[in-house]
Structure 1
Amino acid sequence: MDGEPTVELIRAQLRRLRMNAGLSQEEFGKLVHFSGSQVSAIELGQRPFDRFFLKRADEVLNTGGLLIALLKIAERDKEPSWFLSWLDAVRQAQQLRCYQPLLVHGLLQTENYARAVIRANDMLSDDEVEKRVAARMDRQSILFSPDPPLYVAVIEETALRRADESFRGLMLEQIARVIEYAQHPHIHVHVIPATVAVHVGLSGPFSLARCRDGGWVGSQETQLGGDVVDKDEDVAILLARWESVRSEALSRQQSIELMKELMTSWS
């Protein structure tokens, strides 16, 4: 991704500036309200950074706003800051847990499905739609990297039934893709059946990434963007909600069988 070199530059500059200031990771951490181990994880790429952290680092290190300026370059090149931070966490993750109540999750989407979903935003030009589709397809490479994360996705049966006649072929292709991916040992897909009417996850999509340092980072999406969640108490809430959502879903094999039944009904 275009933004990734800038992300690495931000980490390198952070470390250089901290050392030039004569601060240990522990000393610097106290000044920005992080632990020394968290600072180390950020510098090593084991934990994402966010705008608040970089703004505070600029103030403590008296950089004249250098780190925030680099973040703005990364945003201009690719993604908004919250999503850039989340992509950074995903890239480093050992485990990914993703819940999506209304759509097939992005890492499972076919190109045609992704294009249809992105094109629903009529404020985007055709060029912007194609750029976003290409970026989404590129992000899926994380699932098939040499050392992929354990990826667990929970989706709703109702999301797999969201189609009219014109959408039928696209949905057949999409469900076939999910079934194909679900055969891989590191990819677990669980479907919440339509008979489960109400549960805590319906308040909105969220994802969790387990970083190399063992900590968890979450993300939540809204109509206007999203947020990266890294405060311990907030992450704990998302982990509890994940367990609740996951408990409502079918097993891996039951989910695959349900999806096969759906394909039969669509065809």
Structure 2
Amino acid sequence: MTQDQTGAAVKVSGSLIAAIECGRVVPQPDTAERLDAFFGTGDEIQRAADAAREDAQAPWLRPWTENERRALLLRAFQPNVVPGLLQTEAYTRAVLRGARLPEEAVERTTQVRKDRQAATVDRPEPPMLTAVLGENVLHCGPPNVLKGQLEHLIVVGHRDRVQVLVVPSAVGFHPGLAVPFVLATLPGGARAGYLDDQLRGRVVTDPADLSGLELAWEIVTGLALPVDQSRDLIVKAVEEHD
């Protein structure tokens, strides 16, 4: 069968089948399930896809993605870019290319980020997610990509379990500027944190370190605009690109 014929049979494009065959893309769970059904391979393709997604993650990221999947509450602060769980695919690619990553790494990391979104904010019973952004986030990025990203923030911000807050640039220096971070509240009340730096991410479980992140969170949320005013600021930034 040709790639186009196979794609038509499982409701995807022939180009996606080509990307899967070449190893550039890992099929999403629903696509892998349809491929297994079509070829009569049981769950072989699904298991291979799950293994490939796991291998695609950096080793230091894997413990955190498990926390994301289990979390009841996620609190994220990002002073310069949209948090990964709320990024559009185009925005993710732009951020990664801005970091001068090889195209193969861009494709692999974009797929991992999409998988993380599917396992958290897009799952049937998602965690409560509060994302606090620095105002600079609303103005940083290629205009054609940034507009779509900001529109996406407005849409997801209307979900019952997502809040998007913005810290105005006028507030000046504050503890959150040191490094982006995420706090996860897990079943049973356990907590974990995640710090993102220039080289790699770091999972935080030490109580003293978590208390420091909790303090930083209280400060940045206190400086942030309320949800409605934050949304108005995002809408204004979208209108600047019209």
Aligning the two structures, in what range does the TM-score lie when normalised by the shorter sequence? Answer: 0.7 to 0.9
Which residue matches 1:78?
Answer: 56
Q: Whole-Å Cα distance in 2 between the matches of residues 204 and 126 of structure 1? A: 26
Which residue matches 2:30?
Answer: none
Displacement of 1:157 in angstroms is 1.1
Secondary structure at the counterpart of residue 165 of structure 2: strand
State the one-letter code of the partner of 1:106: G
Displacement of 1:203 in angstroms is 0.5
RMSD over equivalenced CA pairs, Å: 1.8
Which residue matches 1:262?
Answer: 237
- Tell me the alpha carbon deviations over residues 13-37 of structure 1, each in whole angstroms, 9 at most, x when there is no partner: xxxxxxxxxxxxxxxxxxxxxxxxx
Alignment of 1:1-267 (within 5 A): 77-122=55-100, 124-141=101-118, 142-163=120-141, 167-267=142-242
1:232–1:94: structure 2 CA closer, same or farther, 3 Å change rule? same
% of aligned pairs identical? Answer: 34
Structure 1 segments of 4+ aligned residues over 6 angstroms from their partners:
73-76
TM-score (norm 1): 0.68
Secondary structure at the counterpart of residue 140 of structure 2: coil
- Tell me the alpha carbon deviations over residues 24-70 of structure 1, each in whole angstroms, 9 at most, x when there is no partner: xxxxxxxxxxxxxxxxxxxxxxxxxxxxxxxxxxxxxxxxxxxxxxx
Unaligned residue ranges in structure 2 (runs of 5+): 1-25, 27-50
Unaligned residue ranges in structure 1 (runs of 5+): 3-72
TM-score (norm 2): 0.75
Displacement of 1:80 in angstroms is 2.7
Displacement of 1:240 in angstroms is 1.0
1:80–1:125: structure 2 CA closer, same or farther, 3 Å change rule? same
- Tell me the alpha carbon deviations over residues 78-121 of structure 1, each in whole angstroms, 9 at most, x when there is no partner: 32332111111111000000001110111111111100101123
- Tell me the alpha carbon deviations over residues 143-199 of structure 1, each in whole angstroms, 9 at most, x when there is no partner: 121221000000011111114xxx211111010000000000100000111211111
Secondary structure at the counterpart of residue 96 of structure 1: strand
Secondary structure at the counterpart of residue 143 of structure 1: coil
